[in-house]
A and B are shown apart, each in its own frame.
Chain A
Amino acid sequence: MIGWFRRVWENDPRKDPNAVVYFLLAIFAVLFPLFASVVTGGSPNFLLSVAGDAGVYVLLTLGLNVVVGMAGLLDLGYAAFFAIGAYTYAFIASDHLAVTPLQTTLHVPFWIVLLIALFVAASFGVILGAPTLRLRGDYLAIVTLGFGEIVPRVFKNTSTWTSGVNGISALDTPELPIWFKGPWSGDPLAVVQNFKIFDPLGYYVIMVVLLVICVVLVRNLQNSRMGRAWAAIREDEVAAAAMGVNTVQAKLLAFAIGAAFSGFAGTFYGAKLSLVSPENFGFSVSITVLVMVVLGGMGNIPGVMLGSLLIYLVIFMVLPSLPDTVTSIANAIGLTGLTQASGDFPGIGEFAARLKFLIFGLILVLVMLLRPQGLLPSREREQELTKGTHDDTIIEDVQAETG
């Protein structure tokens, strides 16, 4: 039964898993607050807050997916745009500019900064993209890598403007000009002005709305003329150019749109955390987002969303809780001896704490070895990859697969 289901799911071209995944993700997003409050017995703040933070990574992944997955341009310095978005918010929505040579402050509302950061980040995308369009393949990747290394260091070293390593904190909280209080928040029904969003639920809702907007946008782009141009460039740039695709325009646009998304993500990150500091936009962020894209299934929107959520879960929840978990397992199955330190062995919990890096590496290697196409690749690409593109091995392969 399950085998049959799997066979149909993976091979029947009429059954596109994407629709189901979109549906599940939507249901999940709507029900998550309820779910969070049920499992925690009425204090969902922690889970909602984590979900908001995870959303930042989903946004980043969606953006990088445009660059890497759709247009096929490998970007190893994506965190730079994220940093630019976050610092944009920090500059124009806090008291910070008062301690810079400008001696004045700007407090632009969050909603407007979202747009500003979008344009700032997109401009940087174009600035980086324009001179590098001559480059192809891995050379482009290396330029982006260099850019990704430079940007956080510049933020770190220009301390008169950015407060250097201290970062910028106490950023503005998003405000709604008008909001209703009522029984749901435990107050009598009333209209409030300048309602500050502190509640994790508020951030969660903002994030979900942002994600919906972005997903709709990217989906439309993917199915548009531009999306087809990207696909053509990804598959064969020379052929695409020969067929009349304006490769310069298409590549620049991919860069700009990818960067714009991380502008969004950066603004949200800055507002929610109320802090930006240069150490948190390093190469490891770029790599993490890239891993999310590739692991989820390059080019497939629900795939990369799923990938980012899973990786986020592993990095931020599973690995940190590993020491406690293995200690409890050892206790539960009666191996209490393992939890004690003896000689060189520091106890299994401590041991697990040191293993985190190693385990993450293993997970990456294994997942890629087992599913090189990613967890949920787009249907067309999976066909190309597993069934071959132009010869008649399709039937054989289907048989081998279903055995």
Chain B
Amino acid sequence: MGAVGEAIRRRRSDLRSGLTGRALDVGLYVLILAFLFLLGTRVIEHGPDYLLQIFFFALANGAIYALIALGYTMVYGIIELINFAHGDVFAFGAFASASLIPLFGLSEGQVWGPFTILQLLAVFVVTMLLCAVLNVSIERIAYRPLRHAPRLAPLITAIGMSFFLEGAMFLWKGPSSVHYPDVLPDLSFTILGARVGVKEITVWITTIVLVVGLALFIDRSRLGKAMRATAQDRDAAQLMGIDIDRTIAATFFIGAVLAGAGGIMYGLSYNTAVFDLGFSAGLVAFTAAVFGGIGNIYGAAIGGLVLGLIRTFWDGYFDSAWSDVVIFAILIMVLVFRPTGILGMRVPEK
């Protein structure tokens, strides 16, 4: 009875979910259209210059979310853990670089030359390495011993680690927000009536370089291949001679490198950082990762970008008190209508 019965049941439920799935998809499109219409009326009211300006802000905002989301998605893809501490690694990136900038001889409102670019690059590299070391140690201390423990145990240690990091940053810089030195030159260009500052350009270029680099790495390198194999089937990968521990550590390392870069760019763009910054930023970035289909690298990048667009457009055209509600409502709808995210692969549930 068992096998045949199950096969029939499967078939039925496939049919059902196929049908309801299509109906739900239509629902999603209707909602998107309604939102776009509402947005459209506001856009016309405010004019094209404003639209372009908001779009530029949104791209920069989304790029930062994307960088954080990548770390979430990689870690989830490989060990199926919602790494709550990841947002705090990002915040640590902002904090560490705020202290490193004066150490490397940069200061607010200085004259720029080729050497200053090198200095800033050095800040980037050191911060990213610091974040990476931090994240890898977190994995070593709090997650690796629990790899075979009940599923929720590492989730709780992740939360604990998040509190711990926030506590440490609290101790370091106190409860108030810290001013992040505004070192980028105060230059801007006007494109079709909208202003693009050096800040925005820096964020875009850095993000593009990092994301392309990551994609190449995952696709081409040996370690990247090992990561993909481990994500697909850890046991089989191990049998094929892949060093699982090393691969997972590398994932945490790369995730933190991106988060560290995100932290610096957050600081450079908004000129502020606070000890519990990672919590809220992490929540949004995590949403972005899910939005794009968790475990999917391109999905996370696109998810981050889309969430940045949604948030900034909402702030720019509607009431910002509701922007978090909108973001999370979209998250729920995406999951209800397209449970595997915008680009999510149809992964079998383990």
Contacts and interface: CB of A to CB of B under 8 A. Distances in A.
A and B touch in the complex (CB under 8 A): yes
A-side interface mostly: helix
Nearest to A284: B279
B328 A385 contact: no
A365 B152 contact: no
Contacts of B160: 360-365, 368
A157 interface: yes
Contact of B328 (A137, A150, A355, A358): A150
A364 B163 contact: yes
Contacts of B166: 357-358, 361
Contacts of B2: 242
Contacts of A145: 283, 328
Contacts of A182: none
Nearest to B332: A146
B324 interface: yes
A134 interface: yes
Nearest to A132: B336
A131 B336 contact: yes
A373 B328 CA distance: 32
A149 B163 contact: no
B28 interface: no
Nearest to A138: B82
A372 B150 contact: yes
A241 B156 contact: no
A146 B161 CA distance: 22
A15 interface: no
B153 A368 contact: yes
A134 B13 CA distance: 11
Nearest to B162: A361
A68 B79 CA distance: 20
A363 B141 CA distance: 14
B149 interface: yes
Contact of A361 (B82, B154, B164): B164
A356 to B, nearest CB: 7
Interface string B172-202: 0000000000000000000000000000000
A368 B167 contact: no
B287 A368 contact: no
Given A142-B290, A358-B171, A361-B162, A369 B142 contact: yes
B170 interface: yes
A215 B252 CA distance: 42
B83 to A, nearest CB: 12
Residue from B2, B156, B283 whose CB has the most chain A CB atoms within 10 Å:
B156
Contacts of A355: 167, 171
A74 B151 CA distance: 10
Given A131-B336, A134-B339, A358-B167, A146 B328 contact: yes
Residue from A283, A360, A372, A373 whose CB has the most chain B CB atoms within 10 Å:
A372
Interface string A352-385: 0011111111111100110011000000010001
Contact of A365 (B149, B157, B294, B331): B157
Contacts of B345: none
A256 interface: no
Range class of the A interface residue count: 35 or more
Contacts of A9: none
Interface string B134-156: 00000001100110011011111
B153 A372 contact: yes
B199 to A, nearest CB: 29
Given A143-B336, A146-B331, A242-B5, A74 B168 contact: no
A294 interface: yes
A302 B142 CA distance: 27
Contacts of A365: 141-142, 157, 160-161, 164
Contacts of A237: 349
B150 A358 contact: no
Interface string B308-329: 0000000000000110110011
Residue from A146, A363, A373 whose CB has the most chain B CB atoms within 10 Å:
A146
Contacts of B162: 361
A210 to B, nearest CB: 26
Nearest to A356: B167
Given A358-B170, A361-B160, A294 B6 contact: no
B339 A149 contact: no
Given A135-B335, A153-B325, A354-B171, A291 B142 contact: no
Contact of B17 (A134, A146, A295, A356): A134
A146 B336 contact: no
Contacts of B170: 354, 357-358
A298 interface: yes
A242 B6 contact: yes
B9 interface: yes
B163 A68 contact: no
A362 B164 contact: yes
Given A361-B164, A362-B164, A146 B287 contact: yes
B80 interface: yes
A354 to B, nearest CB: 6
Residue from A138, A291, A360 whose CB has the most chain B CB atoms within 10 Å:
A138
Interface in A269-297: 283, 287, 290-291, 294-295
B159 interface: yes
Given A368-B156, A368-B157, A138 B80 contact: yes
A198 interface: no
A147 interface: yes
A91 B171 CA distance: 41
Contacts of B283: 145, 149, 283
A135 B339 contact: yes
B309 to A, nearest CB: 18
18 contacts: A74-B155, A135-B335, A138-B76, A139-B335, A143-B331, A143-B336, A149-B324, A150-B324, A157-B322, A242-B5, A357-B163, A357-B166, A361-B163, A361-B166, A364-B160, A368-B160, A372-B150, A385-B150
Given A153-B324, A242-B5, A358-B164, 18 more contacts: A131-B336, A132-B335, A134-B336, A134-B339, A143-B335, A147-B332, A149-B324, A153-B322, A283-B283, A298-B150, A361-B159, A364-B156, A364-B157, A365-B142, A368-B154, A373-B149, A373-B150, A373-B153
Interface of A: 68, 74, 131-132, 134-139, 141-143, 145-147, 149-150, 153-154, 156-157, 237-238, 241-242, 283, 287, 290-291, 294-295, 298, 354-365, 368-369, 372-373, 381, 385
A-B pairs with lowest CB-CB distance, top 10: A358-B167, A364-B160, A361-B163, A361-B164, A372-B149, A357-B167, A146-B328, A365-B160, A372-B153, A242-B6
